């Protein structure tokens, strides 16, 4: 399985944390879920971090079956709609940058 992470590094504008989280879930999450070939979507809002760690108030993880499916999703019209929705929310609530990491997932059952 391939996981594509988006790390939202920066800060939510003062006093806007709850509004930011609501906007992500209401406006962007449906677009991320519509990406072709996505197996699941995970949205994680940071509650705490180590001293000195960068501020990352949101981490998005989307699982795909393989790298080819990731490339199909990234080239899709649904991705453009997701980018537009993301940019609109970020312009209102977030100061920072997004960086992506594509990983090969390994599972080790307990």
pLDDT tens digits, 17-67: 999 999 999 999 999 999 999 999 999 999 999 999 999 999 999 999 999
Structure pTM? 0.93
Q: What is the mean pLDDT of the chain?
A: 97
Place of tokens 């599972």: 107
Cα separation, 88 vs 94, in Å, equals: 10
Q: Which band of pLDDT confidence, cut at 50, 70 and 90, is reported for residue 1?
A: very high
In angstroms, the Cα distances linking 70 to 4, 52, 85, 95 are: 8, 33, 19, 27
Region 83-100: mean pLDDT is 98
Residue 91 confidence (pLDDT) = 98
CB 109 within 8 A of CB 19: no
């Amino acid at each position: 399985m391939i996981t594509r992470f988006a790390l939202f590094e920066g800060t939510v504008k003062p006093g806007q944390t709850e509004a930011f989280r609501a906007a992500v879930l209401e406006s962007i999450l449906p677009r991320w879920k519509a990406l072709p070939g996505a197996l699941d979507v995970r949205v994680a809002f940071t509650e705490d971090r180590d001293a000195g760690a960068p501020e990352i108030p949101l981490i998005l993880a989307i699982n795909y079956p393989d790298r080819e499916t990731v490339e199909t999703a990234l080239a899709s019209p649904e991705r453009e709609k997701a980018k537009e929705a993301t940019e609109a929310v970020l312009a209102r609530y977030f100061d920072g940058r997004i960086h992506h990491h594509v990983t090969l997932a390994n599972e080790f059952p307990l």
